[in-house]
Amino acid sequence: MNFFINIAEKNAGVVDGTIKDEEAAGYLKWCKKEVSKRVDEIVGNRCNESYYIAVNLLVTMNELLNISNMGELTDGLLAYYYRKYSRYSAFKKEIIAFRDKCDNVQE
């Protein structure tokens, strides 16, 4: 672990500044497209043992979208995939289980 911290400290001065809003929007759009493709591959091909990966990707992407909306919380991405794959009960159970777990952490 210390190895990674040392590298981060060495490179802290190398990364100077931040990305522009346009670049951030572009990266966010690209990330959302990649997450959507991966989730569609996992769920569409009925890889039940990997549904948890798809849900983790969706929740992470949803959190990124929430952060980028500057505090305006939305579960639109999760709701979209919940409706899109409404006939996939195992996938829906994973979404519900993950959301319940997150709700318990926040309490």
Comparing 15 with 81, the larger pLDDT belongs to 81
What per-residue confidence (pLDDT) applies to 40? 96
Per the model's pLDDT, the better-predicted residue between 28 and 42 turns out to be 42
In a domain, 94, yes or no: yes
Domain-located, residue 5: no
Domain that holds residue 51: 20-106
pLDDT reading at 36 higher than 90: yes
In angstroms, the CA 61 to CA 77 distance is 8
State the Cα–Cα distance between residues 82 and 89, nearest whole angstrom: 10
Q: Indicate the pLDDT class of residue 107, thresholds 50, 70 and 90.
A: very low
**What's the structural domain count of the chain?**
1
Coil, strand or helix: which one is 100? helix
In a domain, residue 9? The reply is no
11: in domain: no
Over residues 32-37, mean pLDDT = 93
Query: In Å, how far from its chain's centre is CA 25?
Result: 15
Count other Cβ atoms within 10 Å, centred on residue 52: 14
